[in-house]
Structure 1
Amino acid sequence: MHYQQVVITVTQDKVDKLSDALIENGALSTAIEDANAGNDDEQPIFGEPDMPTEQVWQQSNIVALFGKHADIEAIVSAAARDCGIDMPHYYLETIPEQDWVRLTQSQFDPIQISSRLWITPSWHNQPTEPGVINLQLDPGLAFGTGSHPTTHLCLQWLDKHVHGGETLLDYGCGSGILAIAALKLGVGRACGVDIDPQAIRASQDNALQNQVDAEFFLPDDLPAAQQFDIVIANILANPLRMLAQMLAERTRTGGEIVLSGILAEQTEELSEIYCQWFDLNSPITLDGWVRISGRKRA
Structure 2
Amino acid sequence: MSWIQIKIGCCRADSETIEATLLATGALSITLQDAADQPILEPAVGETPLWDACLVTGLYTTQIDREYVDAYVKTQHDGIELSWEKLAEKQWTDIWKQDFFPLRCGERLWICPSWRSPPDASKVNLILDPGMAFGTGSHPTTFMCLQWLDGQSLSQKTVIDYGCGSGILGIAALLLGASYVIAVDNDPQALAATRSNAERNSIPESNLQCYLPHELPKNSSAQVVLANILAAPLIALAPQLTAMTTNSGALCLSGILNEQIDTVCAAYSSDFSFYTPKMSADWAQLHGHKRLT
Fold agreement, TM-score > 0.5: yes
User: 1:141 Cα shift?
Assistant: 1.1
Q: Which runs of 5+ in 1 are unaligned?
A: 6-22, 31-38, 43-56, 75-93
Q: Which runs of 5+ in 2 are unaligned?
A: 8-22, 31-39, 50-57, 73-84
1:160 equivalent among 151, 168, 180? 151
Output the CA distance in 1 between the equivalents of 2:48 and 2:136.
25
Residues 29, 112 of structure 1: alpha-carbon distance in 2 compared, 3 angstrom cutoff: same
1:212 equivalent among 192, 196, 203? 203
Residues 125, 226 of structure 1: alpha-carbon distance in 2 compared, 3 angstrom cutoff: same
Mapping of residues 1-298 of structure 1, within 5 Å = 1-2=3-4, 67=60, 96=87, 98-130=90-122, 132-213=123-204, 214-297=208-291, 298=293
Output the CA distance in 2 between the equivalents of 1:159 and 1:221.
29
Residue type at the aligned position of 1:117: L
TM-superposition CA deviations, 1:196-240 (whole Å, max 9, x none) = 111111110000000113221111111112111111001111111
Output the CA distance in 2 between the equivalents of 1:174 and 1:28.
33
Residues 162, 182 of structure 1: 8 Å contact kept? no
Residues 29, 228 of structure 1: alpha-carbon distance in 2 compared, 3 angstrom cutoff: farther
SS of 2:235's partner is: helix
Q: TM-score with structure 2 length normalisation?
A: 0.71
SS of 2:115's partner is: coil
Residues 230, 41 of structure 1: alpha-carbon distance in 2 compared, 3 angstrom cutoff: farther
Aligned length: 239
Output the CA distance in 2 between the equivalents of 1:3 and 1:223.
56
Residues 207, 279 of structure 1: alpha-carbon distance in 2 compared, 3 angstrom cutoff: same
TM-superposition CA deviations, 1:6-33 (whole Å, max 9, x none) = xxxxxxxxxxxxxxxxx9x988689xxx
User: 1:251 Cα shift?
Assistant: 1.0
Residues 225, 241 of structure 2: 8 Å contact kept? yes
Residues 149, 173 of structure 2: 8 Å contact kept? yes
Residues 127, 134 of structure 1: 8 Å contact kept? no
Residues 141, 254 of structure 2: 8 Å contact kept? yes
SS of 2:151's partner is: helix
SS of 1:119's partner is: strand
Output the CA distance in 1 between the equivalents of 2:225 and 2:86.
45
Residues 175, 206 of structure 1: 8 Å contact kept? yes
Residues 252, 40 of structure 1: alpha-carbon distance in 2 compared, 3 angstrom cutoff: farther
Output the CA distance in 2 between the equivalents of 1:200 and 1:215.
9
Residues 169, 230 of structure 1: 8 Å contact kept? yes
User: 1:4 Cα shift?
Assistant: 7.8
TM-superposition CA deviations, 1:110-167 (whole Å, max 9, x none) = 111123211111110123443x000000011111111111111101111111330110
Residues 154, 173 of structure 2: 8 Å contact kept? no
Rg comparison, structure with higher value: 2
Residue type at the aligned position of 1:116: R
Residues 206, 268 of structure 1: alpha-carbon distance in 2 compared, 3 angstrom cutoff: same
Residues 268, 197 of structure 1: alpha-carbon distance in 2 compared, 3 angstrom cutoff: same
Which residue of the partner structure matches residue 35 of structure 1? none
CA RMSD of aligned residues (A): 3.4
Output the CA distance in 2 between the equivalents of 1:180 and 1:29.
39
Residue type at the aligned position of 1:135: L
Residues 106, 151 of structure 2: 8 Å contact kept? no
Q: Percent identity?
A: 40
Output the CA distance in 1 between the equivalents of 2:236 and 2:209.
24
Q: TM-score with structure 1 length normalisation?
A: 0.70
Output the CA distance in 2 between the equivalents of 1:152 and 1:231.
16
